[in-house]
Amino acid sequence: MTNKKNIADQATNDFDAVVVGAGFAGLYMLHLLRDKLGLHATAIEAGGGVGGTWYWNRYPGARCDIPSMDYSYSFSDELQQEWEWSEKYASQPEILAYLEFVAKKFDLNKDIRFSTRVIGADYNETDHRWHLSTDDGKALTARFLISGVGALSTAAVPDIEGIDSFEGQSLNTSSWPGEGADLAGKRVGIIGTGATAVQVIPIVAEEAAHLTVFQRTPPFAAPLLNRPLGREEQNEIKARYKQIREDSWNAFAGVPFYNVRPSAIADTPEQRREHYEDCWNEGGFSLWLGSYEDLLLDKAANDTAGAFVREKIREQVKDPEVAAKLVPAPELNYGTKRQPCETGYYEAYNRDNVTLIDLKADPIQEITPAGIRTKSATHQLDVIIYATGFDAFTGSLYRMNIRGREGKRLQDHWSAGPRTHLGLMTAGFPNFFTVTGPLSPSVLFNMPLSIEQHCEWIADCIAYLREHHLDTIETMREAEDKWITHVKEVADSTLLPAAESWYLGANIKGKPRVFMVYLGGGKLYKEICEDVVAKGYEGFTLTATSQTRAQ
């Protein structure tokens, strides 16, 4: 902890706090630690610049699916008044420019080590510090280790025979080349039809000579309906920002919808149809999160929305055989995987240069030097795009090789699935915090807001320790158990755990099936976090080490 005695350390590699990552989480965390608490803090970022998700995912069509005015920091009114968004849903370059602007405005870059990866983090029980190693051979220590590594920052690379033999160009959407990829006139194959692929496919279809889409599970995609954001509309939102942010916290997923009706079943078929049409025409997540409260809770309610979207898909695709392949199977409930938002996705399948391969009927056998061989055919390709998702939540944490008390590895403590209290801390790993860690609302909430709430909780916690001459905090195993049970109970009261989704780790071979997101809603979650603090950090052990006691 910084005190006068520690000031001499400031030119060294001994820090009060080290933050890993410089996306939305890392940037705000660093700002709070350094500028609010006055700590000697640094951030370490594997990428060559700030931005996280928006630094890496430069694929054509990448943009947010929550309106930019909501998908942005709220902590500084000056910032939110100053920044101008050009579209309702900003594109990747614009979100990256925004985060670069934030880093510059708050003078953060000087305390970030770029192009540096944390490859080891060991808790030392003698000096009560984290000892970190980085891939440039450096060693650092810190009293507090804060992970801002992101829930979606380690790619899930498919385990397909012959994958390395392909002699054309292989691209992964989550590490798309900064200079772009020239696909004009090429035969391109894309594996995956999740939210990422849904954004890429229509754009690549226009550029490539031919695009072959390899689909395993068809999604339920709804129109994004992006549009320019006029100055007047933006100013009107800015004038009401305080209220809008409050409304966001009161909304289940951190985005305000003002016309959510209680039950799809309680409405008549005519009322329901009209409401679904209105939501569909509003675009984005309006149907998914803004239509009915029981859509993700009640199978009968869900079926009504599922039928509506299936019908919309059929209407958009001219060839009924192609349409049939694009319609999700009856056993998949609508919205139990994240609903992709589309712009020209279904229309792309009406083009002559786009072919859809249904991998359920015609599975991939191998990747060859010349392309992809499925059971029934060989597809000659110049480029393969992998839009195959992420090893969500745990991928980047495990790659850091974190060891807590008695040298226990995080992946061993979490061998049956992530164990956290509130998604913030894990037992046996003192002073280690995870921003939007597993078992917090995280990816099923408007992420900049959930990130802010976590960063502020962590900063307040560190300030509390300092004020009370304490220097370690660690969650108790019983609190962890209780929280895990609660998260599971809430998830099991919804339809979401029934889907084979990355929320459950189902996309990664051998990953324990644990629903990793807290579904109690942001408002309740925030209240629980505040209550824990009000009760003197209930469920956590706070201690003074002998070094502190001696001062």
Residues of this chain that bind ligand FAD (CB under 6 A):
20-26, 44-47, 52-53, 55, 57, 62, 64-66, 71, 117-118, 148-150, 152-153, 196, 396, 399-400, 435-436, 446-447, 451
Residue 447 binds which one of ligand NAP, ligand FAD, none, with CB within 5 to 8 A depending on kind?
ligand FAD
Quick one: what does residue 341 bind among ligand FAD, ligand NAP, none, with the CB cut-off 5 to 8 Å set by partner type?
Answer: ligand NAP
Smallest distance, ligand FAD to C-beta of residue 32, A: 14
199 contributes a contact to ligand NAP by CB under 6 A: yes
- Closest to ligand NAP by CB, 195 vs 465, is 195
Cα angle at 317 between 313 and 320, to 5 degrees?
100
- Are 410 and 402 contacting, i.e. CB atoms less than 8 angstroms apart? yes
By a kind-dependent CB cut-off of 5 to 8 A, residue 200 interacts, out of ligand FAD, ligand NAP, none, with none
How far apart are the C-alpha atoms of 246 and 254, rounded to whole Å?
A: 9
Of 282, 284, 285, 288, nearest to 301 (Cα)? 288
Query: Smallest distance, Å, CB 21 to ligand NAP?
Result: 16
Among 204, 192, 193, residue whose Cα is nearest residue 158: 192
What are the C-alpha distances in Å from 121 to residues 401, 405, 425, 438?
6, 12, 15, 19
Count Cβ atoms below 10 Å from residue 448 Cβ, excluding itself.
22
Comparing CA positions, the residue from 434, 464, 466, 463 lying closest to residue 450 is 434
Q: Give the C-alpha separation, 161 to 344, whole Å.
A: 32
Residue 396 interacts with which of ligand FAD, ligand NAP, none, CB < 5 to 8 Å by class? ligand FAD
Closer of 176 and 540 to ligand FAD (Cβ): 176
Given 196, 291, 302, 436, the residue binding ligand NAP (CB under 6 A)? 196
Q: Nearest approach, Cβ of 192 to ligand NAP (angstroms)?
A: 3
Lookup result for tokens 């000056």? 78
Least distance from ligand FAD to the Cβ atom of residue 51, Å: 7
Residue 473, both tokens = 């905090």
Q: Which two tokens stand for residue 486?
A: 């609660």
Round to whole Å and give the CA distance between 468 and 179: 51
How far is it, in rounded angstroms, from Cα 368 to Cα 443? 36
Residue 113 or 419: the one with the smaller Cβ distance to ligand FAD is 113
d(CA 502, CA 196) in angstroms, rounded, equals: 14
One-letter amino acid for residue 297 of the chain: L
Task: Decide if residue 304 touches ligand NAP (CB under 6 A).
Answer: no
Taking the least distance from each CB to ligand NAP, the nearer of 301 and 387 is 387
What span, in angstroms and rounded, lies between the C-alpha atoms of 137 and 232? 52
Check the CA dihedral 236-241-283-205 and report its sign.
Answer: positive
Shortest distance in whole angstroms from residue 338 CB to ligand NAP: 4
Choosing among ligand NAP, ligand FAD, none, which partner's interface includes residue 404 (Cβ < 5 to 8 Å by kind)? none
516 binds ligand NAP (CB under 6 A): no
Does 192 interact with ligand NAP (rule: CB under 6 A)?
A: yes
- Residue by residue, what is the 3-state secondary structure of 227-293? CECCHHHHHHHHHCHHHHHHHHHHCCCCCCCCCCECCCCCCCHHHHHHHHHHHHHHCCCHHHHHCEC
Compute the least distance from the CB of residue 71 to ligand NAP, in Å.
8
Q: How far is the CB of 52 from ligand FAD (least distance, A)?
A: 2
Q: Tell me the per-residue interface mask from 27 to 66 with ligand NAP, x by CB under 6 A, - otherwise.
A: -------------------------------------xx-
Q: Site for ligand NAP (CB under 6 A): how many residues?
A: 26
Give yes or no for a contact between 385 and 181, defined as CB atoms under 8 angstroms apart: no
191 binds ligand NAP (CB under 6 A): yes
Site string for ligand NAP, 367-396 (x = CB under 6 A): --------------------xxxx------
Mask: binding to ligand NAP, 68-87, rule CB under 6 A, as x and -?
Answer: --------------------
Stretch that binds ligand NAP, among 74-82, 192-200, 412-420, 478-486 (CB under 6 A): 192-200
What does DSSP say about strands 432-434 and 139-147: parallel, antiparallel, or unpaired? parallel
- Asked if 341 is part of the footprint of ligand NAP (rule: CB under 6 A), the reply reads yes
Torsional class of 501: left (φ above 0), alpha (ψ -120 to 50), beta (otherwise) = beta
- Supply the minimum distance, in Å, between the C-beta of residue 129 and ligand FAD: 18
Question: Is position 533 an interface residue for ligand NAP (rule: CB under 6 A)?
Answer: no
Site residues for ligand NAP per CB under 6 A: 64-65, 152, 158, 160, 191-197, 199, 214, 216-217, 338, 341, 359, 387-390, 443, 502, 507
